[in-house]
């Protein structure tokens, strides 16, 4: 059981470049989400999805796009990378929405540096 | 709005001593409460959660947490700490209005040999 798989683990981008962080889960979870973790800011929700074909914005969505064409995959796209997007990104999933009490499982993280 | 607070930025204990990481909550109704651990350069790993029932919840790696409704607390405990328990610990509560987990600021635990 792979759980939540994120790629790449590390990435360096130049300002203005675009890229996609991949996230996949093999637990048939309806809910998937992306967080970023920054020193002094904690974990902040970027985007989330409550099922295939349904996405919505979190706290800090600007500069990011997501799609959910399948239950398993939830990629995060950086449209035009900026130094402010230097961060650690975590994908997370759970069977149902967090308020259901289902456990949310996190991926191992993607360390992104924008220069 | 549902939120949690971790009053201590750091906790330092000697190996073999009891470990407590504090968390207080502000939740309307019956809370769901979670503890996660993050080792350096790793993702968040689920330790345990309180949904309902017994106030003492047992989780992974020998950790347990006690739900105390009168004190609105959910402290994480381990009877005998190991050096390998050194990590960043987060308390969290799910929010119903914006579909996310609300995390505490985190507590860095250092266990010295």
Going by C-alpha positions, the residue among B44, B92, B101 that lies closest to residue A98 is B101
pLDDT tens digit sequence for A55-97? 999 999 999 999 999 999 999 999 999 999 999 999 999 999 8
Percent residues over pLDDT 70 in chain B: 99
Using the beta-carbon criterion (under 8 Å), do B94 and A105 form an inter-chain contact?
no
Residue with tokens 């050194």: B86
How far A90 CA lies from chain B's nearest CA (Å)?
7
Report the phi/psi class of residue A13: left, alpha or beta, with left for phi > 0 and alpha for psi in -120 to 50: beta
Give me chain B's average pLDDT, please: 93
* Angstrom distances, CA of residue B48 to CA of A66, B17, B73, B109: 30, 21, 15, 17
Using the beta-carbon criterion (under 8 Å), do B43 and A98 form an inter-chain contact?
no
Q: Strand, coil or helix: what is B85?
A: helix
* Angstrom distances, CA of residue A92 to CA of A74, B48, B63: 10, 16, 22
Task: Report CA torsion sign: B13, B10, B7, B106.
Answer: negative
Q: Which residues of B touch A99 (CB under 8 A)?
A: 32, 94-96, 99
Nearest Cβ partner for B43 among A45, A97, A106: A106
Angstrom distance (rounded) from CA B56 to CA B78 = 12
Pair of tokens at residue B9: 């930025």
Section B85-96 average pLDDT? 93
């Amino acid at each position: 059981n792979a759980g939540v798989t994120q790629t790449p683990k590390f990435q360096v981008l130049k300002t203005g470049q675009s890229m996609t962080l991949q996230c996949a889960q093999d637990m048939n979870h309806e809910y998937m989400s992306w967080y970023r973790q920054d020193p002094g800011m904690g974990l902040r929700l970027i985007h989330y999805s409550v099922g295939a074909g349904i996405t919505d914005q979190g706290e800090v969505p600007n500069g990011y796009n997501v799609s959910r064409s399948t239950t398993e995959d939830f990629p995060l796209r950086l449209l035009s990378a900026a130094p402010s997007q230097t961060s650690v990104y975590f994908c997370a999933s759970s069977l149902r929405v967090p308020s259901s009490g289902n456990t949310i499982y996190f991926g191992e993280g993607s360390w992104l540096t924008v220069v | 709005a549902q939120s949690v607070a971790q009053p201590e930025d750091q906790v330092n204990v000697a190996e073999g001593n009891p470990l407590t990481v504090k968390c207080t909550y502000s939740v309307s109704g019956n809370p769901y409460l979670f503890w996660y651990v993050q080792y350096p350069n790793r993702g968040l790993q689920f330790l345990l959660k309180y949904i309902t029932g017994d106030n003492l919840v047992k989780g992974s790696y020998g950790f347990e947490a006690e739900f105390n409704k009168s004190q609105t607390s959910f402290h994480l405990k381990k009877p005998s700490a190991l050096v390998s328990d050194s990590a960043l610990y987060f308390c969290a509560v799910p929010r119903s209005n914006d579909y996310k987990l609300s995390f505490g600021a985190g507590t860095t635990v250092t266990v010295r040999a």
